[in-house]
Structure 1
Amino acid sequence: MKKLLKVLTVLLLIVLVYLRIAIYPQLDLISGFSAKSVASGHFIDNRNLEIIQQGDNDIPKIDWATNEINDKGKFATSTVHGLKERKAIYREGLGATLINGDFDVAKSYEVPKRTFIKNNLPYPLGNNNPEDSVFANIDYYKLIKAVEDAFDKEGQKKKRTRSVVVLYKDHLIAEKYAPGFTATSKILGWSMTKSLTGTYFGILQKQGKIDIMNPAPIAEWKNDERSKITINDLLHMNSGLEWEEDYTKICDATKMLFQAEDMSRCQLEKPAKFKPDTYWYYSSGTTNLLSGILRKQFKTHQEYLDFWYSSLLDKIGMNSALIETDMSGNFVGSSYGWATTRDWAKFGLLYLHKGNWNGEQLFDESWAKYVATPTNTSNGKYGAQFWINAGGYFPDVPRDMYYCSGYQGQMVAIIPSQDLVIVRMGLTEEPDFDFNGFLRDVIGSLKK
């Protein structure tokens, strides 16, 4: 009996040591993810706690968290079995921000000035109701089936698509939403936000205010090998800077998103691991560094905040859009962009029109080609803050397709050869959702 007790005691100690070493450090990230997700989903899209926990937070380990919403104080808190409480506050115009104990919630803050342009045009070029349209070259039976097949049938929970919007020749030709979601539902694009962030450099370049081929304007790099890194390298995720992006564990990306006060510095402080333009590696830290570089282009923080909306989002009528900020006031350009599915489609349409929106050229036509041109060493998968199909990742989809892509299968697909923009928002990636088959079938509804 004593021997058995000794064995059990040793096993218990092993388990406790494992929990302390492997699990306990993750609790801060788990409760952080959960608090941020709850605050954003509730205060931005008016989702209740049950819907958020069964949808957005239905992720291994994240579902360990216990969450509470304080509507009066406009914040959410989360713990894991009573440990590691984290808090996310909501501020109108800035979204939800995960904060630490040093953050001064009473401090005043600036918010972006918004302009809502009324042009009396139907959606998608305006915000009025879309026009009824019938195209002779569309097989509507195939189109409807392709869209319906993107959603789970009743009782299923595999594809978990929330919405689909299809634009063809500037017309809305298909649209569908899962129960609980509508055309006015705001959905987090996750890393689709990177494509928005990159676009601001195209806008500034057209305005003659920046040259992306110049070295990145970072004082900390001036006296070492990082001084040779250009903005172009950063846009292409080809800087050679050290970074780890692996959401299955504690890594640079998770520490940045759920612990950092100033996310723009996380990549900035990393050493060079490779020479610029010789090694491609996907890095959310790089995009937040780009957001920090954008901030330096303006004399005041207010100008930086306003620019993201006045130069792009409100300019094309993406009036539902909201980009959330970190504790230091930087837009989290890597991950925290929200918009309705229709408005995400507008962003794709802007690129389909090579930067022209109702006659106004927001960025040079060449910029659309630039973002869709393969980055060195990416094997035809990545351009400049956009993913691309040049290497045939989706074998049954035209090679000229390029797309915004986000965690859990968010996608804005731009297909110039077909005059198509296809948006899918959801909670699953491949293989649970077959993007190749979905895109193939939508495109297949267009008669040759």
Structure 2
Amino acid sequence: MRKLKFVFLALLLFLIVLVYFNYPKLNIVSGYSAKMMSSSVFVADRGFEYTDTHDNNFDLVAHADDEVFLSEGYATASVFGLMERKAVYREGLGSVLVNDEYDAATAYLKPNRQRLLSDLPFPYGDLPQKDTVFPEIDYKTLVAAVDSAFSNNKIRKTRAVLVIYKDHIIAEKYEEGFDKNSRFLGWSMTKSITSTMFGVLAKQGKIQLDQAAPIIEWQDDERKDITIQHLLQMNSGLEWNEDYGSISDVTEMLFLDSDMTKKQAAKELVYKPGSHWNYSSGTSNLLSGIVRKQFDTHQEYLDFPYKAFIDRIGMHSMLLEADMEGNYVGSSYSWATTRDWAKFGLLYLHRGNWNGERIFNEDWVDFVSTPAPNSGGQYGGHFWLNRGPDNYMPDVPEDAFMANGFQGQRVTIIPSKDMVIVRLGLAEWPDFDFNMFLGGVVKAVQ
């Protein structure tokens, strides 16, 4: 009997310690689940059951219980009834986690969109592309490479693949339940969207890469030496923890902060600017805040990315989600169809020229695709590169550069092959081998 009491007390102590160390995480877990459920249902038009079974069925998130209120436009989530969080859908701004200060009756601004109709074929217009057979393409090899991305799909979890060669779709495939009209979350591919905003601003002469970042709090200390280029190349020297498996800077920002532009700005300098590379989603949201400072009104800021390049190149499905304060979450939250993600890649493949219209200068492409100092060759200006030992793909041309996102979202631009390759899904290395997949696609072009 005494031994049984000891076992019971030991188990109770274990449970108390477990709850003590994990209870604060439940706020993050509930927040992730509610946000994903709300965006999946209201932005991507997916069902509750599908989202719960696939998108929210991993690690601690799988223990969250979600509920969707379709007519009211929001979703909630909690873990064992604890730490309930709420995510609200706002037209034009997507879904956002809200706190107790949120007032649903308060009016909000939304971006003005313009759909430009064109009688040109894809990618420059709305008509189907002309059937074209390229003699230099081994179509059997191409089909095999694309099919390989979907084989053993319980592990590889591919949802969409699109291959463009010389402005033509030469391969396109979707997992059952998805098609060319389905929106997909880009996660950190959004960082490359944010970078493009700066490319446009640079063309307009509104910013220079070597100018000091316009952060008032930095002007009286050594952070005043941080430039726009340092931020775009993740070389600011600011403290930041990008650990998604714990309560960290990035998880607090994405799932607790109402204004995501402030987290990185408040951090101390731990390295001299330009001397140390550190991947930071906080930096991307700080950059989104800097974009907002370029305009006199909030409406101009909201309109800017759509007017400047998103709608101009026909990415009409794309939606940038905003935080509670109306800042675009430039690190993580953008949605678009596979074909519109491909158009984004084509904009860079054509070095900022969209069917004769210049969106940003050619030297911007050189900047984003040149290795950032101290990055080991793997990172440019909010784009990833096929260089350096950590993520080098030996079967893919070295001039490839990519917009990459969590769970293997990727738009790969390969100038030497005149190709853009899009892969969207729920798995990345090692479950999905990008070298094997991309290498197989490239091999099909003789």
TM-score in terms of structure 1 length: 0.98
Counterpart of 1:386 in structure 2 is 383
- Tell me how far apart the structure 2 counterparts of residues 358 and 446 of structure 1 sit (CA, whole Å): 24
Counterpart of 1:99 in structure 2 is 98
Counterpart of 2:362 in structure 1 is 365
Query: 1:332 is matched with which residue: 323, 329, 339?
Result: 329
Q: CA deviation at 1:81?
A: 0.7
Counterpart of 1:416 in structure 2 is 415
State the identity %. 54
- Tell me how far apart the structure 1 counterparts of residues 30 and 138 of structure 2 sit (CA, whole Å): 48
- Tell me how far apart the structure 2 counterparts of residues 133 and 68 of structure 1 sit (CA, whole Å): 48
- Tell me how far apart the structure 1 counterparts of residues 445 and 260 of structure 2 sit (CA, whole Å): 44
Counterpart of 2:278 in structure 1 is 281
Q: CA deviation at 1:249?
A: 1.2
Say which SS state the counterpart of residue 125 (structure 2) adopts: coil
Say which SS state the counterpart of residue 412 (structure 2) adopts: strand
Within-5 A mapping of 1:104-183: 104-153=103-152, 156-183=153-180
Contact 1:125–1:316 (Cα < 8 Å) also in 2: yes
Counterpart of 1:215 in structure 2 is 212
Q: CA deviation at 1:296?
A: 0.3
**Deviation sequence 1:279-332 (CA, Å, 0-9, x none):** 000000000000000000000000000001000100100000000000010000
| Deviating 4+ runs (over 4 angstroms) | none
- Tell me how far apart the structure 1 counterparts of residues 201 and 81 of structure 2 sit (CA, whole Å): 47
Counterpart of 2:289 in structure 1 is 292
- Tell me how far apart the structure 2 counterparts of residues 390 and 28 of structure 1 sit (CA, whole Å): 38
Matched, 1:13 2:10: no
Q: CA deviation at 1:56?
A: 1.1
Aligned length: 444
Query: 1:203 is matched with which residue: 181, 200, 205?
Result: 200
Matched, 1:88 2:87: yes
Say which SS state the counterpart of residue 39 (structure 1) adopts: helix
Say which SS state the counterpart of residue 410 (structure 2) adopts: strand
Q: CA deviation at 1:239?
A: 0.1
Say which SS state the counterpart of residue 157 (structure 1) adopts: helix
Name the amino acid aligned to 2:32: F
Name the amino acid aligned to 1:446: V
- Tell me how far apart the structure 2 counterparts of residues 204 and 314 of structure 1 sit (CA, whole Å): 16
Contact 1:125–1:170 (Cα < 8 Å) also in 2: no
**Deviation sequence 1:335-384 (CA, Å, 0-9, x none):** 00000010000000000000000111111101001000001111010000
Within-5 A mapping of 1:399-438: 399-438=398-437
- Tell me how far apart the structure 2 counterparts of residues 152 and 70 of structure 1 sit (CA, whole Å): 36
Q: CA deviation at 1:91?
A: 1.0
- Tell me how far apart the structure 1 counterparts of residues 290 and 366 of structure 2 sit (CA, whole Å): 23
- Tell me how far apart the structure 2 counterparts of residues 91 and 152 of structure 1 sit (CA, whole Å): 37
- Tell me how far apart the structure 1 counterparts of residues 222 and 18 of structure 2 sit (CA, whole Å): 40
- Tell me how far apart the structure 1 counterparts of residues 150 and 14 of structure 2 sit (CA, whole Å): 45
Name the amino acid aligned to 2:18: Y
Counterpart of 2:261 in structure 1 is 264
Counterpart of 1:51 in structure 2 is 50
**Deviation sequence 1:227-280 (CA, Å, 0-9, x none):** 000011000000000000011111100000000010000100000010011000
- Tell me how far apart the structure 1 counterparts of residues 127 and 257 of structure 2 sit (CA, whole Å): 41
Query: 1:249 is matched with which residue: 246, 250, 254?
Result: 246
Say which SS state the counterpart of residue 338 (structure 1) adopts: strand
Say which SS state the counterpart of residue 348 (structure 1) adopts: helix
- Tell me how far apart the structure 1 counterparts of residues 340 and 29 of structure 2 sit (CA, whole Å): 30
- Tell me how far apart the structure 1 counterparts of residues 212 and 44 of structure 2 sit (CA, whole Å): 40
**Deviation sequence 1:393-447 (CA, Å, 0-9, x none):** 1111111000000000000000000000000000001110010000000000011
Tell me, which stretches of 5 or more residues in structure 1 are unaligned? Answer: none
Say which SS state the counterpart of residue 158 (structure 1) adopts: helix
Counterpart of 1:31 in structure 2 is 30
Matched, 1:343 2:340: yes
Name the amino acid aligned to 1:192: M
Say which SS state the counterpart of residue 143 (structure 2) adopts: helix
Say which SS state the counterpart of residue 412 (structure 1) adopts: strand
- Tell me how far apart the structure 2 counterparts of residues 335 and 2 of structure 1 sit (CA, whole Å): 54
- Tell me how far apart the structure 1 counterparts of residues 63 and 242 of structure 2 sit (CA, whole Å): 23
Contact 1:391–1:399 (Cα < 8 Å) also in 2: no
- Tell me how far apart the structure 1 counterparts of residues 387 and 11 of structure 2 sit (CA, whole Å): 53
Counterpart of 2:2 in structure 1 is 2
Say which SS state the counterpart of residue 55 (structure 2) adopts: coil
Matched, 1:311 2:308: yes
Name the amino acid aligned to 1:102: E
